[in-house]
Structure 1
């Protein structure tokens, strides 16, 4: 019987806001290595940083045609609300770096602090996250679940990330609950992401990216069976 030809693994570039996001991305790269190929720069940076990389760095520019997705992994603060239009322009430019199909750009957003996304790995919750005190309480709550947690620490971040199936379920519930508060749709669209980016609601979309990787892994396993 002739062997089935497997599709090439999707190539995903991940741009992270901080060291905590990078540590989580490192877990995804290792855990889902059979599903996708991941690349992310050693330094942190988001939209303008990515635009510069793909326009000025030959390694990025020359790989644009084989890049399937670009991810931005970051927290949405109140100070970010007015940045949406500038960020959308960069997103649209990045999409067009590959033709037919365009590069997909995913926004792995979490309100105020990545620790909220991390806490969803343990329990369903959606408290207000608008002040420095709110974020501090979230960090202390996470430390009670994961003693020794520090931002950017790979050991404790891996410990947290291993509970991602729970985070997927909880993240999905958080978005579903926002439908009654004006969320335009659950689908990953610019309209929905603008609403989330400019709202003061507590939310995350990181679970959608992790769920996508789970689906890729299932497809790859079926192809190998």
Structure 2
């Protein structure tokens, strides 16, 4: 059993299945070979992990006895926890793109395209489209707050229901948020007004619970 407090794991844990992405470190989620998205437990206690890119399913069965592991094996297990794709990431220092020049399309590629796709049309199942979306072309204040605070729970986009988690992106600079929102409001079949960094700064200042 894992206990979490403010997204930080409390207590001991063991790494029993990893390496799904096929690369380390992961600079962009688009680079991952596989992206696990679902997990279920079978009647025998085995875990079944499914992924979204190629439709692959892994069966994970634990048969080891930690008490019989050698000292070297135990040390190796602890060392593995320090790998960048396993340890608790730092949202700023672990962003390998943070020092590169950014513009709307660059920010979109790094933070948005993996879910909403490069063409902005989503995947028709879990992640909604941005093209002609009322959430994108409508109230700018609502759109800015959505990107800053994230979203969790059922919504409707273009008459279709979606129920997934969109993480908050308040770690982005005001200029970056303005650029990426302007990008999606003026691409993918959209033709709306710019979002300015001044508008973002004002909403950040007046909205609580935004880091």
**TM-score, scaled to structure 1:** 0.23
Would you tell me which structure has more strand in proportion to its own residues?
2
**TM-score, scaled to structure 2:** 0.24
